[in-house]
């Protein structure tokens, strides 16, 4: 049992906050930015996800996002996503995700804050128009009714998080009894500060990641396994209590 040591503490966890990243979605077949899957047609994905790249070549960036979106739409939530959703039967659960794929919501999670936006949303680069993508665009890059270029409503490297979403994330982290950091190395700011807010409430920190991260030494418990394998076992503790 990966979580055997927590058996007697389960009743203390009234509010559980998950911080999730690309690792949990990778288990559903969605490539991560970093590592060998991070290249797209010989372009570095981390360099494509910037406002400069978009203005340099909006057509190329839109091609990449259209391909990513089709990959995401064909993906299904894995056992990690499903376990987080099931946990709502036993505790107050909030998901603070760096992912833009909507798989937590697909799995049934009802309280999800998307820190980095959503791949199914668009906004204008100039006016305040924003919406969900209903159909594929006939032109590339797509244009707003005002005549300016539309862009994916996601947070690119170097951009600020949506302020309202970030403020809610801090509040939830501050109120948590337990924070589980799943499938993320937490190298991206400001999401990597969320465990600090949880600690201010004396929350327990658990890391679920097959690999050691820069944050591992700050954790109370580290589980060296994937979310899809570890999180269903964590939920089973609640069923037996």
**Span 170-196, pLDDT tens digits:** 999 999 999 999 999 998 899 999 999
Q: Which of 81, 116, 130, 172 is catalytic?
A: 116
What is the mean pLDDT of the segment spanning 210-234? 95
Q: Are both 134 and 187 inside the same structural domain?
A: no
From 127, 154, 181, the end of a domain falls on 154
Residue 197 lies in a domain: yes
Q: Are both 41 and 103 inside the same structural domain?
A: no
Q: Are both 183 and 222 inside the same structural domain?
A: yes
Residue 221 lies in a domain: yes
Q: Are 232 and 84 in contact, with CB atoms under 8 Å apart? A: no
Token pair of 55, please? 């203005």
Q: Is there a binding annotation on residue 92?
A: no
Rounded-to-integer distance, Cα 77 and Cα 88, Å: 16
Q: Are both 129 and 165 inside the same structural domain?
A: no
pLDDT of res. 135: 76
What's the pLDDT tens digit per position in 122-142?
Answer: 999 999 999 998 777 889 999
Q: Is there a binding annotation on residue 146?
A: yes
What is the total count of domains within the chain? 2
Q: 229 lies in which domain range?
A: 7-29+77-116+161-241
Given a cut of 70, is residue 157 above it in pLDDT? yes
Q: Are both 107 and 62 inside the same structural domain?
A: no
Give the number of other Cβ atoms within 10 Å of residue 126's Cβ.
12
Token pair of 85, please? 């959703």
Q: Are both 37 and 61 inside the same structural domain?
A: yes
What is the mean pLDDT of the segment spanning 1-14? 87
What is the mean pLDDT of the segment spanning 66-95? 95
Q: Are both 48 and 64 inside the same structural domain?
A: yes
Rounded-to-integer distance, Cα 236 and Cα 241, Å: 9
Q: Are both 46 and 109 inside the same structural domain?
A: no
Q: Taking the model in full, what pTM does it have?
A: 0.93
Contacts of residues 107-110 at CB distance under 8 Å and 24 or more positions apart, as own/partner, are 107/77, 107/81, 107/82, 108/82, 109/81, 109/84, 109/85
Q: Is there a binding annotation on residue 69?
A: no
Rounded-to-integer distance, Cα 24 and Cα 200, Å: 26
The structure tokens 């969320």 sit at 194
Q: Are both 167 and 198 inside the same structural domain?
A: yes
Mean pLDDT of the chain: 93
Q: Are both 104 and 90 inside the same structural domain?
A: yes
The structure tokens 């999800």 sit at 112
Helix or strand or coil: residue 70? helix
What is the mean pLDDT of the segment spanning 54-78? 93
The answer to whether residue 116 is catalytic is yes
pLDDT of res. 4: 83
pLDDT of res. 63: 93
Rounded-to-integer distance, Cα 14 and Cα 79, Å: 22
Residue 196 lies in a domain: yes
- CB under 8 Å to 70, separation ≥6 — which residues? none
Q: Is there a binding annotation on residue 225?
A: no
Q: Write the CATH number for 127.
A: 3.30.1600.10
Rounded-to-integer distance, Cα 233 and Cα 53, Å: 42
């Amino acid at each position: 049992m990966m979580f055997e040591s927590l058996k007697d503490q389960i009743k203390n966890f009234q509010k559980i906050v998950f911080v999730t990243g690309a690792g949990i979605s990778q288990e559903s077949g969605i490539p991560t930015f970093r590592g060998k899957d991070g290249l797209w047609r010989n372009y570095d994905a981390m360099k494509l996800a910037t406002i400069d790249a978009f203005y340099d070549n909006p057509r190329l960036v839109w091609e990449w996002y259209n391909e990513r979106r089709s990959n995401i739409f064909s993906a299904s939530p894995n056992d990690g996503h499903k376990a987080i959703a099931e946990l709502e039967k036993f505790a107050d659960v909030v998901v603070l995700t760096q992912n833009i794929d909507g798989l937590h919501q697909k799995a049934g999670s009802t309280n999800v804050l998307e820190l980095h936006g959503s791949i199914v949303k668009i906004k204008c680069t100039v006016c305040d128009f924003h919406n969900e993508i209903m159909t594929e665009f006939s032109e590339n890059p797509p244009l707003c009714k005002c005549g300016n270029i539309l862009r994916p409503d996601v947070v690119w490297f170097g951009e600020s998080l949506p302020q309202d979403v970030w403020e809610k994330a801090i509040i939830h982290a501050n109120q948590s009894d337990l924070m589980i950091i799943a499938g993320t190395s937490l190298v991206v700011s400001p999401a990597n500060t969320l465990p600090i807010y949880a600690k201010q409430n004396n929350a327990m920190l658990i890391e679920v990641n097959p690999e050691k991260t820069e944050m591992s030494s700050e954790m109370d418990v580290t589980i060296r396994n994937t979310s899809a394998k570890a999180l269903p076992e964590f939920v089973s503790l609640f069923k037996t209590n």
